[in-house]
Copies of this chain bind each other. A is one copy, B any other.
Amino acid sequence: MSAKERREQERARVRAALIDAGRAMFISQPYDEVSLRAVARTAGYSAPTILNHFGSKEGLIFAICEQDFGALRARFERIAKVADPVDRLRRLGEAYVDFAMENPHHYRFMFMSNHPAPDPAQFPIDRSNPDLDAYAFLRATVAEAIATGRFRPECKDADLVAQVIWSGGHGLVALHLTKGDDPALTFRPIKAAARLLIDATLRGLLKAED
């Protein structure tokens, strides 16, 4: 093994250690309550080391999320095998809501925080590959259902339909994450709401016979 390779391996090891330490804290605390210094301390490094590896605090959090979103991708891959595109949409919605509630801080950072899109050079997300990108997967499934004539005639635009469906799922999750503990809002169990939401949205978008 060359010296350069060894250096790179060591660098990857440190990077992994920082991500692990960061994840341990980020699982239980949201983005803005996890301080770089705290992560660095638990990892056994100093704060600027994180910046050296990830460029910024957001870079670190994004790296953590990027890794853990593999779990969502894995579920998508299983769902991709479902033959009927409408069934697939249903399963997709359930998986999306489940994932968000299991990883609230990840979800919050990825879909509810306003940050410039991460540097594609450092974190390449293939937006055109449905296997890797959640929205692309949704859009492709919608397009398939449109192509096979399942949607109502006014639903010809796959992006528009996908965005309407995504809005429902995201809204349900986001409200629960931000307002779920508001005692004045008697939230119904999210599972029940998700079921009604998915059923109603699809019924409203699909042709009557479905």
Question: Copies of this chain, how many?
Answer: 2
**CB-nearest residue of chain B to A192:** B160
Q: At the interface, yes or no: A106 with Cβ under 8 Å from chain B? A: no
Nearest opposing residue in chain B for A108, CB measure: B114
Contacts of A114 in B (CB 8 A): 30, 177-178
Provide the residues of chain B in CB contact with A192, threshold 8 Å.
160
Q: How far is the CA of A188 from the CA of B155 in the complex (A)?
A: 13
B-binding segment of A53-61, A80-88, A167-175:
A167-175
> Which residues on the B side are within 8 Å of A30 (C-beta)?
114
CA distance A60 to B175 in the complex (A): 23
Stretch in A12-20, A35-43, A141-149, A196-204 touching the partner = A196-204
Q: Is the CB of A127 within 8 A of B205?
A: no
Q: How far is the CB of A208 from chain B (nearest CB, A)?
A: 8
Q: Which of B154, B169, B193, B201 contacts A163 (CB 8 A)?
A: B193
**Interface size of A in residues (CB-CB distance below 8 Å):** 48
Which of A44-52, A65-73, A179-187 is found at the contact surface with chain B? Answer: A179-187
Decide yes or no: A187 and B168 within 8 Å by CB, A201-B204, A202-B204, A203-B203 being known contacts. Answer: no
- Across the interface, which residues of B come within 8 angstroms of A135, CB to CB? 185
CB of A131 within 8 A of chain B?
no
Tell yes or no: A164 within 8 A of B by CB: yes
Which of these, B178, B183, B185, B196, contacts A113 with CB under 8 Å? Answer: B178
Residue A166 lies at the interface, judged by CB distance under 8 Å to chain B: yes
Kindly state whether residue A161 has any CB partner on chain B within 8 Å: yes
Distance in Å from the Cβ of A163 to the closest Cβ of chain B? 5
Partner among B166, B178, B182 whose Cβ is within 8 Å of the Cβ of A171: B166
B155 in contact with A196 (CB, 8 Å) = yes
Q: Which residues of B contact A174 (CB under 8 A)?
A: 112, 170-171, 174
A interface residue numbers (CB < 8 A to B) = 30, 111-114, 117, 125, 127, 135, 154-155, 157, 159-161, 163-164, 166-172, 174-175, 177-179, 182-188, 192-193, 196-197, 199-205, 208
